[in-house]
């Protein structure tokens, strides 16, 4: 370990965070980080349980004089989103994350940092280790596979936790306390793909969209960010009308919960139209850069000459693909009527992948209104059904209904005001949190969610604000001291 975060405060959080960075932890592949946490619990002689889903619960008794307080759960997830820049060589199954300090931020070299939610895990370990922090009985819950299915929270035993208060350490804006979140569902479409012989007297091009920021499909969906799937499809759609472009393959985006940052399509253009096409791409690049000049200054659209594709999509397949992608909504569908400036319903056109005999299109929908979640999922399915695609909805997960009269909320607000001399914002979040599922299993659980400031989550631009980690730590310690009596 390089210890590049030495000297940052609070020391023990950054110590454990840097240790965690050395341990691969993709979603559904958390064996190494799970073994590390279990060994930690045993090393510190703490009751350590692994449930049938792989979630880990570590219990720590109350400190002297605090035995009469209510038991409290500290909760975070141990997996991370694995995204990297296309020019970065990194194997998330084996390679460590490489954190570094960039001014007021901690970042990673060419990859996601994993502060979502490694910083929550690190805080839990620091509290479990500490001998100088006053607290009542504590349960630390480390869940698996939050990022790709919430399967840890789905599989959580509804009888295993003893506490009635939960602090979810998985929010990303210091100074904000969350008391509700959106529910979500995935919609994956399979569109049949027929291929035919490529056109004669043609040139091959790789049409590339790059330089987008990407981001979290919940937190960042209202920030005017570009989507590589939509931009790439737009230039292909227009070029098919103008130049007789033929598509051989279309591949853009990756994860269902990330806004697509990069994409490319291998295409064929009639040789006598190639010059016009290249000029058009340059003008299109200028056009979309102007459209996104504030939010996406790094956006680039290029057509790079490549080997001529011998086989291309059939005319019918191409028409159905390009038209359905053009018609597919992406972004904010509805704003809340009861909470100012709060996204109520959205959809993310996450990924388009050309397979052997079909095209796979991955989308995800979110809403804080359960009926609207299903309505927008059906909207997406209907678009692709018209093109002959088959849509399959995932199991989905529930939202978390706000409780403005929460006891732990009042304690946390008072703690924040005492420490920092101002009131925190109390909000709901458009992202999905495990609190919705945990609350479904533990209806009497009193919950809040908070954390330090993390920007660019789910993208290689993910960065953790250094100073806010200290405030996050101080707030947690103050809350623990003021848990009510049982």
Q: Pick the closest to residue 261 from 325, 298, 220, 213 (CA basis).
A: 213
* Helix (H), strand (E), coil (C) string for the chain: CCCCCCCCCCHHHHHHHHHHHCCCCECCCCHHHHHHHHHHHHHCCCEEEECCCCCEEEEECCCCCCCCECCEEEEEECCECCCECCCCCCCCCCCCCCEEEECCEEEECCECCCHHHHHHHHHHHHHHHCCCCCCCCEEEEEECCCCCCCHHHHCCCCCCCCCCEEEECCCCCCCEEEEEECEEEEEEEEEECCEEECCCCEEEEEEEEECCCCCECCCCCCCCCCCHHHHHHHHHHHHHHHHCCEEEEEEECCCCCECCCCEEEEEEEEHHHHHHHHHHHHHHHHHHHHHCCCCCCCCEEEEEEECCCCEEECHHHHHHHHHHHHHCCCEEEEECCCCCCCEEEEEEEEEEEECCCEEEEEEEEEECCHHHHHHHHHHHHHHHHCCCCEEEECCCECCECCCCCCHHHHHHHHHHHHHHCCCCEEEEECCCCCHHHHHHHCCCCEEEECCCCEECCCCCCCEEEHHHHHHHHHHHHHHHHCCCEC
Q: Which residue has the higher pLDDT, 255 or 345?
A: 345
Average pLDDT over residues 345-372: 96
Q: What is the pLDDT of residues 61-114, one digit of tens each?
A: 999 999 999 999 999 999 999 999 989 999 999 999 999 999 999 999 999 999
Q: Could you give the dihedral angle defined by the CA atoms of residues 236, 238, 239 and 242, in that order, rounded to the nearest 10 degrees?
A: 160
Considering the chain, what percentage of its residues have pLDDT values greater than 90? 91
**194 pLDDT more than 90:** yes
How many residues appear in the chain?
486
- Report the mean per-residue pLDDT for the chain: 96
What pLDDT digit, counting tens, does each position of 286-329 carry?
999 999 999 999 999 999 999 999 999 999 999 999 999 999 99
| Cα gap 28→152, rounded to integer Å | 10
Q: Flag whether pLDDT at 339 surpasses 90.
A: no
Return the higher-pLDDT residue of 52 and 341: 52
Residue 431 pLDDT greater than 90, yes or no: no
Per annotation, catalytic residue among 83, 117, 146, 462? 146
Give the pLDDT confidence score for residue 293 in this predicted structure.
97
**Band of residue 1 on the pLDDT scale cut at 50, 70, 90:** low
Residue 22: pLDDT band with limits 50, 70, 90: very high
Q: Is 305 a catalytic residue?
A: no
Per-residue pLDDT of 153-163, as tens digits, reads: 999 999 999 99
**pLDDT at residue 337 greater than cutoff 90:** no
Per-residue model confidence (pLDDT) at position 346: 98
Q: What is the mean pLDDT of residues 404-433?
A: 95
Rounded to the nearest 10°, the torsion over CA 95, 96, 101, 107 is 70
Residue 209 clears pLDDT 70, i.e. is over it: yes
Q: Whole-model pTM?
A: 0.79
**Looking at 57-71, 129-143, 258-272, 430-444, which range is the least confident one?**
430-444
**Mind listing the domains of the chain with CATH numbers?**
11-182+399-481 (3.40.630.10), 185-393 (3.30.70.360)
Specify whether 172 is catalytic. Answer: no
Residue of 30, 79, 172, 434 marked catalytic: 79
Q: Is the pLDDT of residue 14 over 90?
A: yes
Residue range 49-68: average pLDDT?
97
Peptide bond between residue 125 and the one before it cis (omega within 30 degrees of 0):
no
| pLDDT confidence of residue 338 | 76
């Amino acid at each position: 370990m390089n210890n590049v975060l030495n000297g940052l405060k609070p020391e023990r959080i950054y110590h454990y965070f840097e240790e965690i960075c050395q341990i691969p932890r993709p979603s559904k592949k958390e064996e190494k980080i799970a073994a590390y946490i279990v060994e930690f619990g045993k090393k510190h002689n703490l009751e350590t349980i692994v449930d049938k889903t792989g979630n880990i619960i570590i219990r720590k008794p109350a400190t002297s004089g605090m035995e009469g307080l209510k038991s409290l759960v500290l909760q975070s997830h141990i997996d991370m989103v694995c995204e990297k820049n296309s020019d970065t060589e990194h194997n998330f199954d084996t390679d460590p994350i490489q954190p570094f300090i960039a001014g007021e931020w901690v970042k990673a070299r060419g990859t996601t940092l994993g502060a979502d939610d490694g910083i929550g895990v690190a805080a839990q370990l620091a509290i479990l280790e500490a001998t100088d922090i006053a607290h009542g009985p504590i349960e630390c819950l480390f869940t698996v596979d939050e990022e790709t299915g919430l399967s840890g929270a789905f599989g959580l035993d509804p009888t295993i936790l003893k506490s009635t208060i939960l602090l979810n350490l998985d929010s990303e804006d210091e100074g904000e306390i969350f008391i509700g979140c959106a529910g979500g569902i995935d919609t994956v479409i399979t569109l049949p793909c027929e291929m035919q012989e490529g056109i004669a007297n043609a040139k091959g091009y790789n049409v590339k969209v790059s330089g987008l920021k990407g981001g979290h499909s919940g937190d960042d969906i209202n920030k005017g960010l570009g989507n590589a799937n939509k931009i790439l499809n737009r230039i292909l759609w227009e070029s098919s009308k103008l130049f007789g472009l033929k598509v051989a393959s279309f591949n853009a985006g990756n994860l269902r919960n990330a806004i697509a940052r990069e994409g490319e399509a291998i295409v064929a253009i009639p040789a006598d139209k190639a010059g016009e096409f290249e000029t058009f791409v340059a003008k299109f690049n200028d056009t979309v850069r102007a459209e996104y000049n504030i939010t996406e200054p790094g956006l680039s659209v290029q057509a790079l000459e490549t080997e001529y594709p011998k086989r291309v999509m059939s005319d019918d397949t191409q028409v159905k693909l390009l038209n359905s992608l053009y018609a597919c909504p992406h972004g904010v569908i509805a704003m809340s009527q009861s909470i100012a400036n709060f996204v109520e319903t959205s959809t993310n056109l996450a990924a388009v992948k050309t397979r052997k005999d079909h095209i796979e299109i991955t989308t995800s929908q979110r809403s804080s209104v359960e009926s609207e979640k299903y309505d927008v999922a059906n909207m997406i399915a209907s678009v692709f059904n018209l093109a002959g695609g088959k849509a399959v909805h995932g199991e989905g997960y529930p939202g978390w209904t706000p409780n403005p009269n929460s006891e732990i909320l009042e304690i946390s607000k008072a703690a924040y005001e005492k420490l920092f001399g101002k009131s925190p914002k109390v909000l709901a979040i458009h992202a999905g949190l495990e609190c919705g599922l945990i609350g479904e299993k533990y209806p009497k659980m009193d919950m809040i969610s908070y954390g330090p400031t993390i920007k660019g989550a789910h993208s290689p631009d993910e960065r953790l604000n250094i100073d806010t980690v200290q405030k996050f730590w101080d707030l947690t310690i103050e809350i623990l001291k003021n848990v009510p009596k049982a």
